[in-house]
């Protein structure tokens, strides 16, 4: 858990980049910081691993002040991914990924296994890619290496600063899917900076909207969309495609009896989009729902229509 208590940052030139931020980021949460350029997102992120010193207030990680951690221990236990990842150009991909595990003095065998596992996780064949130099990879592949490098030593927290913004839309979409899948399996705490609302809504368990160094609103994607606290949030969210949003299928279950699920039924995870759900229910009048790998019940065409109908009355999905 990461806690900000009245955290401010004033740079030497007098710029106040972050103003009295209070924030709790939960263990295992995908937490997104979003806001216009200059709103203090990067500064907020870099204070967590002490790349930037705090001027006022305190940040705690698992209840301990970050200033009380040994700085190396802190950095090694926090993965960090930048927009333009700087892979070491003269090192192979294998060596690049192994940097932090080597600093942590893992043995060769453990490092070797970890590198293979990580490359497989992001769909890059270890035999082919391990000996290559960064320049022999596409931009999207390099960025993928940047992401797995940050995961290499199994950090508890991963900080990502606009990691996909330099990518073409297809690689970007693919990496977003990868990181979502990864997050579901590794259950790390991820703090992710972006200025793209679609990306924030797709990835975030919760989203924190910043403006001029201050927090404007923190909430789940649904809370921000349906209960924006002011015009700034409303405009920032703008015209997002709401059917593409992930929503909680648990609220639409027609029953919670897994015995009702038969083999022919299509199974969706509990966090699917409305679009995916509608597509599935266009083909079958009933689908199964799974959560954390367990089947939890079924959604019928009728239960979804009822849900949509009452949501429409409450002004949602408009």
The residue range among 15-23, 34-42, 146-154, 260-268 that interacts with Mg ion, by the rule CB under 5 A, is 34-42
If the CB atoms of residues 46 and 187 are measured against Mg ion, the closer one turns out to be 46
- Residue 112, contacted partner among ligand ADP, Mg ion, none, CB below 5-8 A by kind: none
Total Cβ atoms within 10 A of residue 307: 21
The residue range among 5-13, 38-46, 51-59, 245-253 that interacts with Mg ion, by the rule CB under 5 A, is 38-46
Of 32, 24, 22, 26, the residue nearest 237 (C-alpha): 32
If the CB atoms of residues 17 and 159 are measured against ligand ADP, the closer one turns out to be 17
What is the token pair recorded at 229?
């606290």
- In the bound complex, what is the minimum distance in angstroms from residue 43's beta carbon to Mg ion? 8
- Residue 101, contacted partner among Mg ion, ligand ADP, none, CB below 5-8 A by kind: none
The residues of the shown chain that bind ligand ADP, judged by CB under 6 A, are: 11, 13, 15, 17, 35, 37-43
On whether the CB atoms of residues 46 and 7 are closer than 8 A, the answer is: no
If the CB atoms of residues 35 and 219 are measured against ligand ADP, the closer one turns out to be 35
- Residue 109, contacted partner among Mg ion, ligand ADP, none, CB below 5-8 A by kind: none
If the CB atoms of residues 146 and 213 are measured against ligand ADP, the closer one turns out to be 213
The residue range among 36-44, 61-69, 165-173, 247-255 that interacts with Mg ion, by the rule CB under 5 A, is 36-44
Q: State how beta strands 64-65 and 56-61 pair.
A: antiparallel
- In the bound complex, what is the minimum distance in angstroms from residue 134's beta carbon to ligand ADP? 25
Name the residue with the smallest CB distance to Mg ion: 42
Position 43 contacts Mg ion (CB under 5 A):
no
If the CB atoms of residues 35 and 101 are measured against Mg ion, the closer one turns out to be 35
If the CB atoms of residues 42 and 286 are measured against Mg ion, the closer one turns out to be 42
What are residue 80's DSSP bridge partners?
159
**Near Mg ion by CB under 5 A: residue from 8, 39, 42, 176:** 42
If the CB atoms of residues 35 and 101 are measured against ligand ADP, the closer one turns out to be 35
Q: Which residues bind Mg ion (CB under 5 A)?
A: 42
């Amino acid at each position: 858990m990461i806690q900000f208590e009245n955290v401010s940052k004033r740079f030497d030139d007098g710029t106040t980049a972050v103003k009295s931020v209070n924030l709790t980021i939960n263990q295992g949460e995908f937490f997104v910081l979003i806001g216009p350029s200059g709103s203090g997102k990067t500064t907020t992120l870099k204070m967590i691993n002490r790349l930037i010193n705090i001027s006022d207030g305190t940040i705690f990680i698992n209840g301990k002040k970050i200033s009380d951690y040994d700085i190396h221990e802190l950095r090694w236990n926090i993965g960090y991914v930048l927009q333009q990842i700087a892979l070491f150009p003269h090192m192979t991909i294998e060596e690049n990924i192994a940097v932090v595990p080597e600093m942590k003095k893992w043995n060769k065998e453990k490092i070797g296994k970890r590198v293979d596992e990580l490359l497989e996780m992001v769909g890059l064949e270890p035999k082919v890619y391990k000996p290559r130099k960064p320049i022999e990879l596409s931009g999207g592949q390099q960025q993928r290496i940047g992401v797995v490098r940050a995961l290499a030593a199994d950090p508890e927290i991963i900080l990502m600063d606009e990691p996909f913004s330099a990518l073409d839309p297809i690689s970007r979409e693919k990496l977003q899917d990868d990181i979502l899948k990864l997050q579901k399996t590794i259950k790390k705490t991820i703090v992710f900076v972006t200025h793209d609302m679609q990306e924030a809504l797709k990835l975030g368990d919760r989203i924190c909207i910043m403006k001029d160094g201050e927090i404007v609103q923190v909430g789940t994607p649904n809370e921000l969309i349906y209960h924006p606290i002011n015009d700034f949030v409303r405009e920032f969210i703008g015209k997002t495609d709401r059917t593409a949003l992930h929503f909680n299928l648990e609220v639409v279950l027609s029953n919670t009896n897994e015995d009702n699920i038969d083999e022919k039924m299509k199974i969706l995870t509990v966090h699917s989009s409305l679009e995916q759900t509608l597509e599935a229910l266009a083909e079958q009048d009933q689908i199964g729902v799974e959560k954390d790998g367990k089947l939890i019940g079924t959604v019928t065409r009728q239960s979804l229509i009822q849900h949509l109908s009452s949501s429409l009355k409450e002004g949602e999905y408009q």
